[in-house]
Amino acid sequence: MKYRVETTSIQGFIQQIACSYLRHGYWFYVRGSIPPDKDPFVIDEKLLSKYKIAVSESTRARRKKGGRANLQLIRHQNVFVIMATKGIHPFFELESKTIRDIRHTPLQYAGYSVSYKPGGRKKDGSRDDKWHAHVALTRSFYLDLKATFTERAKVDSAERLALAFYELSVAPYAPIRRQLLTIHREVNRIRKIAGRTQIPTDVLPLRRKVVRPFERPIYRQTSKIR
């Protein structure tokens, strides 16, 4: 099977990293950008060849057993990320100045911040010592979003504001759900002071849809052209 590099959406890019690569130990990363005058597919092939990334699962298992690192390459449009597990590999020498550990330095892309950390607290209040992918909105994106909605809370109708929440194009991972609920509470606080209609929570996009990162959407014709 051909190794797939290019994801077809921002959400697919984030999902593949957070839900697939991190849980398998791909914690070390380098992020790069492809210049507009370069062919992304040519760059993909060069990187795959240079670091011998496109190998079988059995080869990955042998590498891991022998103390060598495995790598993954993923790209969305002109932004690519090379991710590696711990172990011996030329990647760590060749990219030593730019390698980051996602457990300490989150990977940021398109308003998302992806990291890997202990889970915090369970529902019963006990400590969750297991490590999990953590996907939140970057601080700057979150603050801009909050500022936009709190300003609109003063002037927009309940219908317009509800639609704005509903149409937010973000993948609601747990940390993002908390961020959206915080914005929602602040909006309702402002509207309550002004004596305006409250916005129900069911307009928030709180359910994440699983996407297929490497597949292009299929467009179906819904009506015949006459």
Give me the half-sphere count of Cα atoms (radius 13 Å) on the Cβ side of residue 136.
15
- Say if residue 1 is exposed, middle or buried (CB neighbours under 10 Å; 0-12, 13-18, 19+): exposed
Residue partners of 206: CB distance under 8 A and separation at least 6: 172, 177, 180
pLDDT in tens, 119-172: 766 667 777 778 999 999 999 999 999 999 999 999 999 999 999 999 999 999
pLDDT in tens, 47-72: 999 999 999 999 999 999 999 999 99
Residue ranges of domains in the chain:
6-137, 139-203
Dmax of the chain from CA atoms? 67
pLDDT in tens, 71-96: 999 999 999 999 999 999 999 999 99
Q: What are phi and psi of 126, to 5 degrees?
A: -75, 160
- DSSP single-letter state for residue 88: B
* Structure confidence at residue 224 (pLDDT): 39
